[in-house]
């Protein structure tokens, strides 16, 4: 049985995030911003990355998994889809680190980010998802992880963001990878269906590597496999030279 064809609900989650984010924009948000502004921001972030000894956006893109690795195929995500999740706000401040990661970003601003979709290469594997890298100074990356642990502990009953409800948060065993790791599951209410979303977040120096997985047939098997996480951590280590 080809399970990949039986999981269209997975595509609904990013689509809902995109639609919700767009519906909250003001009329002015449709105005085009000068390319020079974006270029200036990139240059500023690159200079800051060099100052704090972190990987910049270009280096992070090279360090991110691309193509087939460890039974999964990683593909770059369109910038418009990525940006739809930026600045997601939780109705409960204590849960903000969780809301930010749902949107594909860390709650502390990063000097570089890279996003990938993840799809199994084996048709009978029902776990699909995405991953993203965020580059920080090592102290800030450590704070991201500490704040994330605190959020998991403080938000067992979930939270709301962009009109979406996440009704349950539960901690999971974290893999012994990188410098430290956090595992947890968030249950999202998508229409009348509850969708358990599994997260594995690993810190490697100043880089936060977050992996998001969904398995509609068996939520307990929704975590992105450790082999994929290890493959990504190896690429980060190589990028540092």
- Mention every residue, 6+ apart, whose C-beta is less than 8 A from residue 1: 124
CA distance 169 to 158: 6
Reported pTM: 0.85
The pLDDT of residue 78 is: 87
Tens digits of residue pLDDT in 86-120: 888 999 999 999 999 999 999 999 999 999 999 99
Mean pLDDT for 154-179 is 94
Q: What is the pLDDT of residues 3-62, one digit of tens each?
A: 443 333 343 344 444 343 333 333 333 445 555 565 677 788 788 888 888 799 999 999
Residue count (the chain): 241
Separation between Cα atoms, residue 27 and residue 49, nearest integer Å: 33
pLDDT for the residue numbered 154: 98
Beta-bridge partners for 119: 73
How does the average pLDDT of the chain come out, rounded?
A: 85
User: What per-residue confidence (pLDDT) applies to 34?
Assistant: 53
């Amino acid at each position: 049985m080809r399970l990949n064809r039986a999981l269209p609900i997975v595509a609904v989650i990013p689509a809902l995030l995109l639609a919700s984010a767009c519906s909250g924009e003001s009329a002015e948000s449709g105005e085009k911003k000068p390319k020079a502004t974006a270029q200036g921001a990139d240059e500023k972030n690159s200079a800051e990355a060099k100052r704090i000894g972190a990987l910049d956006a270009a280096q992070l893109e090279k360090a991110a998994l691309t193509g087939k690795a460890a039974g999964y195929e990683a593909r770059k995500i369109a910038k418009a889809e990525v940006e739809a999740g930026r600045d997601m706000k939780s109705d409960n401040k204590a849960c903000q680190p969780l809301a930010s990661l749902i949107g594909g970003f860390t709650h502390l601003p990063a000097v570089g980010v890279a996003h990938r979709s993840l799809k199994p290469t084996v048709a009978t594997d029902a776990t699909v998802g995405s991953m993203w890298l965020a580059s920080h100074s090592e102290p800030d990356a450590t704070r991201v992880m500490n704040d994330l642990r605190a959020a998991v502990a403080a938000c067992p009953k979930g939270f709301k963001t962009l009109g979406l409800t996440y009704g349950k948060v539960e901690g999971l065993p974290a893999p012994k990878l990188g410098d430290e790791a956090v595992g947890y599951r968030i249950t999202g209410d998508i229409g009348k269906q509850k969708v358990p979303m599994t997260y594995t977040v690993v810190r490697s120096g100043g880089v936060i590597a977050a992996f998001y997985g969904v398995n509609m047939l068996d939520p307990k098997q929704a975590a992105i496999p450790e082999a994929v996480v290890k493959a990504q951590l190896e690429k980060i280590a190589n990028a540092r030279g």
